[in-house]
Amino acid sequence: MNVKSTISKEVFSSQDERMLGAVLVKRRTKKKIPFLATGGQGQYLTYICISVSNKKPPQVFITKVKQFEDSSGFVRRSQWTLEQLRQVNGVDPNRETPEFDLQFDNASDQWEASSGSEKFTFFQILYHTCQRHLSDRKPEFINCQARLFPGNSILHSAADSVTSAVQKASQALNERGERLGRAEEKTEEMLHSAQQFADTANKLAMKHKC
């Protein structure tokens, strides 16, 4: 059983919830702590998880789950409802980077996923969950790759088709222009030859008159 399956079973199934997705993260900026408490729990791994309750109506949660050093178990930490999520920041809309920010009503965190592809998969799950479970006041997704949004893929395909058509038309016009240019050159050569023939004929005619 992989880590995410274990989290789903141990952390969420026991609470009558179903985990939809999770991403392994680490902080990009260190959290400010006023003092260092003695007897700390040491190093740990952090997962950001999306889960939905099995009750009606269903409720969606975003939960930080930690696995501490020398422990095989997982522990719930901070938790928010989906309605409290205000902004999802992908940091760079042009590249598949692992960095992202989550902003809630009362908290904001800067994270880095284990990879850009894992972050994108998490974003896909989060975006579709918002579309399905939130009727209004959806969180803002900024600095995200255009392919995250289903409608944009259609627009981009259409834009690519238009660009391709323009390029083909431009190429056709250039080729036609070249053909016309060659035809004009041939016409000029024929006119020049005809003029030379006329001049020669005229000279012969004048010679015979003499």
Q: What is the CATH number of the domain that holds 24?
A: 2.30.29.90
Residue 208: inside a domain: yes
Per-residue pLDDT band for 39 (boundaries 50, 70, 90) equals very low
Same-domain status, 142 and 175: no
Tell me the three state secondary structure of residue 52.
strand
- The pLDDT of residue 14: 79
Per-residue pLDDT band for 38 (boundaries 50, 70, 90) equals very low
Same-domain status, 203 and 187: yes
Determine the structural domain holding residue 186 and report its residue range: 155-210
Same-domain status, 132 and 57: yes
Same-domain status, 52 and 109: yes
The whole-number average pLDDT for the span 90-118 is 95
CA atoms within 13 A on the CB side of 136: 0
On the question of a cis peptide bond just before residue 139, with omega within 30 degrees of 0, the verdict is no
Note the residue count of the chain.
Answer: 210
Q: Order of strands across the sheet with 140-142?
A: 75-81, 60-68, 44-53, 17-27, 108-113, 99-104, 85-89, 140-142
The number of helix segments (H) and strand segments (E) in the chain equals 3, 8
Enter the DSSP assignment of 29.
S
The whole-number average pLDDT for the span 101-113 is 95
The whole-number average pLDDT for the span 72-84 is 93
Residue 19: inside a domain: yes
| Single residue among 148, 165, 182 that ends a domain in this structure | 148
Same-domain status, 26 and 83: yes
Residue 36: inside a domain: no
| Single residue among 120, 148, 176 that ends a domain in this structure | 148
Same-domain status, 172 and 199: yes
SS (H, E, C) 95-136: CCCCEEEEEECCCEEEEEECCHHHHHHHHHHHHHHHHHHCCC
Output the six-digit token pair for 9: 């079973």
Per-residue pLDDT band for 151 (boundaries 50, 70, 90) equals confident
pLDDT digits (tens, 9 = 90+) for 89-99: 999 999 999 99
101, 139 Cβ separation under 8 angstroms = no
Q: Quickly list DSSP for 23-84.
A: EEEEESSPPP-SS--SS----EEEEEEEEEESSSS--EEEEEEEEETT--S-EEEEEEEGGG
Query: What does the radius of gyration of the chain's CA atoms come to, in whole angstroms?
Result: 35
Degrees, nearest 5: CA angle 181-184-187: 155
The whole-number average pLDDT for the span 106-128 is 96
Q: Is the pLDDT of residue 205 over 90?
A: no
- Distance, in Å, from the CA atom of 13 to the CA atom of 8, rounded to the nearest integer, reads 6
Enter the DSSP assignment of 11.
I
| Single residue among 133, 148, 163 that ends a domain in this structure | 148
- The pLDDT of residue 171: 72
Name the more confident of 206 and 57: 57
Q: Is the pLDDT of residue 32 over 80?
A: no
Same-domain status, 87 and 166: no
Q: How many domains does the chain have?
A: 2
